[in-house]
Amino acid sequence: MQIINDAALRVPIKMWLDDIEEGALDQARDLAKLPFVFSHIVLMPDSHQGYGMPIGGVLAAEDTVIPNAVGVDIGCGMKALKTNLTTMASKELIKLMDEIKKRIPLGFKHHKTKQKWEGFERFPDIPVIKQQLDSAKYQIGTLGGGNHFIEIQKGSDGYIWIMIHSGSRNFGLQIAQKYNAIAKQICQSKNISLPNRDLAFLSFDTEEANEYMDAMNYALEFARENRSIMMRKIIESFSDIGYEDFDDCEVYDIHHNYAAMESHFGRDLIIHRKGATSAKNGQIGIIPGSQGTKSYIVKGKGNKDSFMSCSHGAGRKMGRKRAIRELNIQDETRRLDELGIIHSIKNKSDLDEAPGAYKDIDTVMENQKDLVEIEVELSPLAVIKG
């Protein structure tokens, strides 16, 4: 861990990496100047520049929430299931991928019919939720685009695993944009000076802050159910190629974009995790790599300095446009083909999610040995990208 502490900062920055990009560090310095931030700012080993706050950042606030410190994909997270299978042939994996694609819409695609979820009957009475509710019924159980994925993996425990990375779809985006705009209006009306206007905040003595939390928590529920529906569809796909009975298998589900009230250093605080995973002592977490590297099932060590958090993945080392512009498609596909991975890089536009666009996951895991211990290493066998 490295610490940055100088006269320009109200609180120090504690970092679990030494290769932080300048833009992300500038954003962290802005966070460290906010009047309501408690103790210190945390940067995880996968940190990189985001919108307002670095992705891979953790912030503890007193009686305050910052919409951009949660992000636009509220509830984005991971679901992992350990099957009872120990091997799958490449031909079976290809068939499985085809079946999954028939059942789960990818990218911007939605279901053609409304999907069922009991949560649709108990939505909070909040305008942005009600406005998005009908379209959300077609979106739930869909993967989305960007870095969202479905992956079949072989674990160091000898078993085949299923892993899903997805979030709250358009729900999260609309909530984030709405309440970030409200926060900006409130800060402006009160002549509140901010180091960065993308860090506009809502104080809990306002109705808007509590409304945001209610909307955010509903989006978290939606995101969890979104992953659960997809997992059921994947299990159905396994059944169609002759594999059944995953009922008693281990399964884990976590968020890595959210805010929650937690107790740290004897204080009740709003912990914002933007691209960060809760890692309380003994808590199981999921840290994905890229489609060409290992992912990990981990157990938290409850490190107080990190607000009991760890990384949410490998973290990008180059932006999407730069990756498409600079990476070589032959090099990237050759690397994956040599590993025997059924991958999702078909043309140059797919290079934004190539392994070369991401940080070295081995370095990321080494940098957070005091935050988590590795339970299972997971090597990719087949990947579907959004």
End-to-end CA distance of the chain: 34
Closest CA to 167 of 214, 102, 230, 252: 230
Q: Confirm whether 352 is domain-assigned.
A: no
Return averaged pLDDT per consecutive 10 residues of the chain, 386 residues in all. 94 95 96 97 96 96 97 96 96 96 95 96 96 96 94 97 96 96 96 94 97 98 98 96 88 97 97 98 97 96 98 91 90 88 88 89 96 98 93
Most distant CA atoms of the chain, gap in Å:
64
The CATH number for 7's domain is: 3.90.1860.10
Of 194, 246, 292, nearest to 84 by C-alpha is 246
Q: Give CA–CA dist 352/122, Å, rounded.
A: 38
Compute CA 284 distance to the chain's CA centroid, rounded to the nearest angstrom: 15
What confidence score (pLDDT) does residue 25 get? Answer: 96
Q: 348 lies in a domain?
A: no
- In our burial notation (b when 16+ CB lie closer than 10 A, e otherwise), range 18-52 reads eebeeebbebbbbbbbbebbbbbbbbbbbbbbbeb
Residue 342 in domain: no
Q: How far is CA 48 from the centre of its chain?
A: 13
- 270 Cβ contact partners less than 8 Å away, ≥ 6 residues apart: 60, 61, 62, 63, 64, 65, 204, 259, 260, 261
Cα distance between residue 374 and residue 43, in whole Å: 20
User: Of 263, 266, 380, 262, nearest to 314 (Cα)?
Assistant: 380
DSSP string across 154-209 = EETTS-EEEEEEE--HHHHHHHHHHHHHHHHHHHHHTT---SSGGG--EETTSHHH
Residue 302 domain boundaries? 2-317+358-379
Q: Quick check: helix, strand or coil at residue 382?
A: strand
Bridge partner list, 155: 378
Residue burial 137-147, b: 16+ Cβ < 10 Å; e: rest: bbbbbbbbebb
Query: Which distant-in-sequence residues (6+ apart) come within 8 Å of 110 by Cβ?
Result: 135, 138, 139, 142
Domain count across the chain = 1
Closest by alpha carbon to 76, among 280, 323, 258, 209? 258
DSSP letter, residue 114: P
In a domain, 135, yes or no: yes
Task: Identify the DSSP state of 33.
Answer: T
Is residue 347 one of the residues assigned to a domain?
A: no
pTM of the model: 0.95
SS3 64: strand
Distances 216 to 53, 174, 328 between C-alpha atoms, Å: 18, 10, 39
pLDDT number for residue 318? 85
Which residues are marked as active site? 312
Separation between Cα atoms, residue 230 and residue 143, nearest integer Å: 8
The answer as to whether 274 is a domain residue is yes
Does residue 328 lie in a domain region? no
Examine residue 41 and state whether it is found in any structural domain, yes or no. yes
- Could you give the 3-state DSSP secondary structure of residue 134? helix
